[in-house]
Amino acid sequence: MKQIPVFKPLVASDEVEAASKSLMGGWHGMGTSVGMFENELSSFLQLKDRSVVAVSTGHAALHLAMLLCEISDGDEVITPSFNNVADLQAIMAVGARPVFCDIDEETLCIDLSKAQELVGPKTRAIIAMDYGCHLVDHEQLGVFASRNKLRVIHDAAHSFGSSFKGKMVGSFSDICMFSFDPVKTITCIDGGALVVKTKEDVSSLQEMRLIGMNQPASVMYGNKRAWTYGVSRIGFRYHLANLHAEIGRCQLSKIGRIAATRRASCDLYNQILREVKEVMLPKQDFEGVLPFIYYIRVPKENRNNLREFLSERGVDTGIHWQPGHAFELFKNSRRGNLEVTNKISQEIVTLPLHSEMLEEDILTVSHAIKSFFNVNA
């Protein structure tokens, strides 16, 4: 039986060749390839007044964003509970506490009207995560942040390659982070990036990602290192290696194909599954959006049985996400009314979506769902 995975990165012989060339190049740390990757990301994101700093993982990017915002012990950060635990751990890592906000039922992104109710004297920032194939209303987010004097950490792990009102995601936010982990839209096998506005922020991030050492990136990007340096701030081993940067560069060169195939698959899912009344589809035409996941919502009493039914037919599925407030670590975190989050988290099912899916794969998944709900395939 053919297996259809939820995720499968578009990795082929050119990534293998790029990795091999990097390994044989003799400089295996952060070097020339990382600088080139940052420049190519900057060009792709159409950055004019911002800069890219590449790091080892998306979680590293989130942690560094917290430090850059000077969030620390006793502070609070508003975040959707319907979120990856990586965001929540990054908040905890600096001694702050997450404050859980509900989501909009249509976009599954943070509900800013409910976020307003959660702003308090300890609130320092808000995490705005684009979800699946939907974007936060970033105009309203800017108004919200300005009114409440908050920093915005834009989690764009799901929205790399998308645009908001004609502007590329990453080109307009206070601080924007991307993840290039093994299952993301493009992968470095593991990697991440931050987009920031000032030279001072770039300098700070370059030091913090290199265990606090102020070795100039311009030196390291020549595949060299400075043997004398200062250390004046806390830092971590969060830099990206040349090997991962070369794979990322190779992936970025395929972004047109990745976007086209993902959009086509989502369109076909929508076309077929709209016939199933028990299935709620994303309200999205995918114009200007590069979807990371394709999800459906089903009645909660059907979800587990549907996932088992699909698994028996070789179709893998996922759940994005379990709500943060349900985890033991966050049980005492402040929160608002999470009615929508609780509902969605029991209905959501992630279907397979990747750039090597064939039309017959979409048909297999869709017809299996129709069969489960007794709709003629």
Same domain, 177 and 67: yes
pLDDT (average), residues 350-356: 96
Query: CATH no. for residue 366?
Result: 3.90.1150.10
Which residue is it, tokens 């890592």? 93
pLDDT for residue 323 is more than 70: yes
pLDDT (average), residues 297-303: 98
Helices (H), 94-161: 112-116, 138-148
226 contact partners, CB below 8 Å, separation of at least 6: 215, 216, 219, 220
From 208, 235, 252, the end of a domain falls on 252
Same domain, 260 and 244: no
Same domain, 173 and 277: no
**Burial letters 172-184, b for 16+ CB under 10 A, else e:** bbbbbbbbbbeeb
Cα–Cα distance for residue pair 374/275, rounded to 1 Å: 11
pTM: 0.97
From 235, 252, 269, the end of a domain falls on 252
Q: How confident is the model at residue 230 (pLDDT cuts 50, 70, 90)?
A: very high
Domain presence at residue 331: no
For residue 38, give the 3-state DSSP assignment: helix
257 contact partners, CB below 8 Å, separation of at least 6: 10, 355
From 208, 232, 252, the end of a domain falls on 252
Domain presence at residue 338: no
pLDDT for residue 146 is more than 90: yes
For residue 68, give the 3-state DSSP assignment: helix
Cα–Cα distance for residue pair 173/165, rounded to 1 Å: 13
pLDDT for residue 185 is more than 90: yes
pLDDT by residue (tens digit) across 148-158?
Answer: 999 999 999 99
Same domain, 300 and 197: no
Cα–Cα distance for residue pair 175/155, rounded to 1 Å: 9
Same domain, 264 and 187: no
As for how many domains the chain has, the answer is 2
Query: CATH no. for residue 35?
Result: 3.40.640.10
165 contact partners, CB below 8 Å, separation of at least 6: 139
Same domain, 173 and 261: no
Cα–Cα distance for residue pair 205/210, rounded to 1 Å: 8
pLDDT for residue 302 is more than 80: yes
Cα–Cα distance for residue pair 357/344, rounded to 1 Å: 27
pLDDT by residue (tens digit) across 23-72?
Answer: 999 999 999 999 999 999 999 999 999 999 999 999 999 999 999 999 99
Q: What is the pLDDT of residue 377?
A: 59
Pairing type for strands 51-55 and 192-196 reads antiparallel
Q: What is the pLDDT of residue 376?
A: 77
Same domain, 91 and 35: yes
Q: What is the pLDDT of residue 365?
A: 98
Same domain, 298 and 362: yes
Q: What is the pLDDT of residue 13?
A: 96
Same domain, 165 and 284: no
Range of the domain at 222: 13-252
Angle, vertex CA 218, rays to CA 214 and CA 224, nearest 5: 85
For residue 91, give the 3-state DSSP assignment: helix
Domain presence at residue 6: no
Domain presence at residue 340: no
